[in-house]
């Protein structure tokens, strides 16, 4: 892509809000040239580590475009524990750009695995450098609410669904989400859940996988206890899963 087009394409520049570097904008163009994306609309979420935009495919389907921000050294340090010990990232580059791209690729692969065994996660579509494209979960361009903002009508049932999710992801997908909480679970009006944000997920063989699994269970149980659901002890559920391994 020539810089000329970039200059002229003020609309795209506006959407990207001058947050992203030249390299990221070029990657957006590559996704457009590949026919994965035809337009990028406004931002739906601005976080510390990533921004999520609504995009549209040439077929007219909504997609979520998650763009990781360039890594700060502090952030990178905090994420190292997920990367080290993951055989898929043995040769992960140590430079900030290489690292963030590897992180994005990891989220894509984790999603693929979870999606392929039928779990309720967004269908992964493509990735390019620090950009992940996936199915848009929401209606009319508005994402479904997160569990933290919209407690379920039937919390007991939703807890069971989430436990089923954790178990199947571990036993069949051989993955641990490792960042599971009410902040990364969407809920539809009928109390159906969708789980997002798979960047941190690790393989079951990761040396800290059991600790991550325990933490996921603790976080989920804490949330449901705040809704007065009788959860039982996290260790009990952890043992139940590990026994079936
Ligand atoms: N597939 C999707 N469809 C619709 N909205 C999405 C999708 N994925 C993410 N979002 C929206 O973007 C928000 C942030 O996504 P996500 O949790 O994956 O990023 P994050 O890594 O937590 O970012 P940060 O921690 O920097 O906020 C979600 O809470 C949700 O509102
Ligand atoms: Mg999140």
**For residue 226, what are the CA distances in angstroms to 35, 122, 142, 209?**
46, 27, 27, 26
pLDDT tens profile 114-143: 999 999 999 999 999 999 999 999 999 999
Residue 183 Cα, ligand 2 centroid: separation in angstroms? 6
Ligand 1 within 6 A of 50 CB?
Answer: yes
- Ligand 1 nearest-atom number relative to CA 50: 26
pLDDT for residue 71 = 58
pLDDT for residue 230 = 97
Q: Which of 66, 107, 145 is the best mutation target for the ligand 1 pocket, counting ligand atoms within 8 Å of the beta carbon and taking the most?
A: 66
Domain span(s) for CATH 3.30.200.20 in the chain? 3-135
Mean pLDDT of 151-165: 98
Token duo for residue 187:
């809920």
What fold is seen in the domain 144-243?
Answer: Transferase(Phosphotransferase); domain 1 (1.10.510)
Domain span(s) for CATH 1.10.510.10 in the chain? 144-243
Q: Using CB atoms within 10 A of its CB, is residue 53 exposed (0-12), middle (13-18) or buried (19+)?
A: buried
CA quadruple 69, 62, 10, 47: dihedral, nearest 10: -20
**Considering only CA atoms, which of 200, 212, 202 is closest in space to residue 238?**
212
CATH 3.40.50.1100 for domain 3-135: no
Q: Which of 44, 48, 56 is the best mutation target for the ligand 1 pocket, counting ligand atoms within 8 Å of the beta carbon and taking the most?
A: 44
* Under 8 Å between Cβ of 220 and 230: no
Share of the chain above pLDDT 70, in %: 93
CB-side exposure of 183: number of CA atoms within 13 Å? 10
Active site residues: 179, 197
Report the range of poorest mean pLDDT among 83-87, 147-151, 218-222.
Answer: 83-87
| 8 has a pLDDT exceeding 60 | no
Residue 87 Cα, ligand 1 centroid: separation in angstroms? 26
Ligand 1 within 6 A of 111 CB?
Answer: no
More confident of the two residues 88 and 9: 88
**Considering only CA atoms, which of 160, 173, 179, 170 is closest in space to residue 218?**
179
Task: List all residues 6 or more positions away from 202 whose beta carbon is below 8 Å from its beta carbon.
Answer: 82, 85, 86, 175, 176, 178, 208, 209, 212
Q: Classify each residue of 24-49 as buried b or exposed e, where b means 16 or more C-beta atoms within 10 Å of its C-beta.
A: bbebbbebbeeebbeebeebbeeeeb
pLDDT for residue 178 = 98
| 234 has a pLDDT exceeding 70 | yes
| 6 has a pLDDT exceeding 70 | no
Residue 9 Cα, ligand 2 centroid: separation in angstroms? 30
Residues 151, 156: Cα–Cα separation, whole Å: 11
């Amino acid at each position: 892509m020539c810089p000329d087009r970039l200059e002229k394409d003020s609309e795209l520049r506006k959407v990207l809000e001058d947050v992203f570097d030249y390299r990221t904008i070029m990657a957006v163009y590559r996704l457009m040239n590949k026919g994965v994306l035809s337009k990028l609309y406004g931002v739906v979420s601005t976080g510390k580590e990533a921004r999520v935009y609504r995009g549209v495919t040439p077929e007219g389907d909504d997609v979520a475009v998650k763009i990781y921000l360039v890594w700060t050294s502090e952030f990178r340090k905090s994420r190292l524990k997920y990367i080290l010990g993951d055989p898929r990232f043995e040769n992960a580059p140590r430079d900030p750009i290489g690292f963030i791209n590897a992180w994005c690729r990891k989220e894509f692969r984790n999603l693929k695995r979870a999606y392929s065994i039928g779990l309720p996660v967004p269908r992964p579509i493509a990735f390019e450098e620090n950009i992940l494209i996936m199915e848009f979960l929401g209606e009319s361009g508005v994402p479904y609410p997160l569990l933290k903002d919209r407690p379920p009508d039937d919390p007991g049932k939703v807890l069971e669904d989430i436990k089923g999710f954790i178990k199947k992801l571990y036993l069949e997908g051989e993955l641990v989400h490792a960042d599971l909480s009410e902040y990364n679970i969407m809920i539809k009006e009928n109390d159906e859940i969708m789980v997002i944000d798979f960047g941190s997920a690790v393989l079951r063989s990761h040396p800290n996988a059991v600790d991550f699994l325990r933490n996921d269970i603790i976080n989920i149980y804490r949330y449901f206890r705040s809704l007065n659901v009788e959860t039982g002890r996290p260790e009990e559920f952890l043992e139940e899963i590990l026994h079936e391994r």
